[in-house]
Amino acid sequence: MLYGRGQVDGTPAVAFATDVTRMGGALGLAGCRRIVTAIDTAVRDRVPVAGLWHSGGARLAEGVVALDGAGQVFAAMVRASGRVPQISAVLGPALGSAAYGPALTDIVIASRAGRVLATGDAPSGPADDTPSGPAGAAGSEVVHLTAATDAEALARTREMVLLLGRQGRLSPDDVTLGSRGGGSPDALLPSGPDLPYDVKPLILALLDAAGTELHADWAPNIVTVLGRFAGRTVGVVANNPLVLDGSLDAGAAEKAARFVRMCDALAVPLIVLADTPGYLPGPGHDGDGVVRRGAKLLHAFADAVVPRVTLVTRRAYGGSYIAMNSRALGATAVFAWPTAEVAALTPEAAVNVLHRKRLAATPPARRAHLRDQLATHESAQTGGIDRAVEIGVVDAVIPPTHTRRRIALALAAAPAGRGAHGSIPL
């Protein structure tokens, strides 16, 4: 087991590594104590700590002594959680006790040979035919980022150390109007209000440069990105209408909650892009624990103290409107584009509930026309943005070209905050 102190492009950090050339990198008591020392050193110096993992787990010859050492590592990681960024690079199989070390850290990066498996032997073949394969049985819910090679995994580890260890200062005066690439960011949305589109180009247009998407293969109906905005590291949470129309389901709620919790623990401000028709309907999704896991997202946002700004781009309906960092949950500011809608239900769904008897009494030939008329009226009455502004749940309707500057000013005006909690892997 090796560890040391140094710098990543001028940013101080601590690193440790299992030594696969000695007993397959198995964790013995002495090696575990070195990892604990590395983590405690990072906490003392308030710097990121990066661990490089390739280990068969606890040393069998040491028995319970090795298991106790692994437990001491886990306890040190929990003590450090939320106090300093913890990044893991899995460069080979991380089995048994060695699987839980990376899983307790903030960011897990796996190379093509990486495996995170609680039990059993590591597969002998390649991780997958694509770079998104590493993770083992737990899949992409454990691994945030994947890499085709060890060198790429180490480069991504350095990137995360810099993003989380040198967060920078917010400079609203340097933010120009329009999107980063020029022009109005709403040009990236389709012409129809219900047409699907990929939210990732919009995120790219708002950030200073391309950010890093985490958990890209897990619950892709919501996107979580770390990047820089107005010179500062931020986290972005965005519904993605390209997948499930941007609806929230159990997986998306849990993924977003975990990300929000981590950002709050590490003092990373949040930008939330809301474009969602609601929670995904159906009894099958209730069976997936959408209420319990959806509550995690509500709790994560309501408990967060970092500055966090929401932008409603097209629509935010029902419970998912609340869950996407609404004013009620303590958002620093909520902005909306002029064509955005905020309501309890989509206009069509509201008509089916409120005018069910009238629709049933209408001849079938005229029913569709009446439903469209009622939906238009419903949208004007309750689905527009004016009422939301009137009662203060939306702070302002802003021109899309002013989006970057208004978000930057809102974040800069908010007091800095950092959650007094760890970053539990939800």
Residues in the chain: 426
Give residue 318's pLDDT: 84
Q: What is the pTM of this model?
A: 0.88
Give residue 250's pLDDT: 92
Q: For residue 230, give both structure tokens.
A: 């107005």
Phi, psi of 283 (to 5 degrees): -65, -25
Pick from 242, 228, 276: which is nearest to 256 by CA? 276
All CATH 3.90.226.10 domain ranges of the chain, comma separated, are 2-165, 172-413
CA distances from 231 to 129, 169, 170 (A): 37, 6, 5
CATH numeric code, 2-165: 3.90.226.10
Evaluate whether the domain defined by 172-413 bears CATH number 3.90.226.10.
yes
Pick from 69, 61, 56: which is nearest to 25 by CA? 56
Q: For residue 27, give both structure tokens.
A: 């964790």
| Whole-angstrom distance, CA of residue 72 vs CA of residue 78 | 10
Q: What are 11-34's pLDDT values in tens digits?
A: 999 999 998 878 777 788 998 999
CA distances from 121 to 96, 115, 125, 155, 221 (A): 9, 10, 12, 28, 33
Q: What are 277-327's pLDDT values in tens digits?
A: 988 865 555 556 888 889 999 999 999 999 999 999 999 988 889 999 999
Q: What are 144-163's pLDDT values in tens digits?
A: 999 999 999 999 999 999 99
Give residue 117's pLDDT: 83
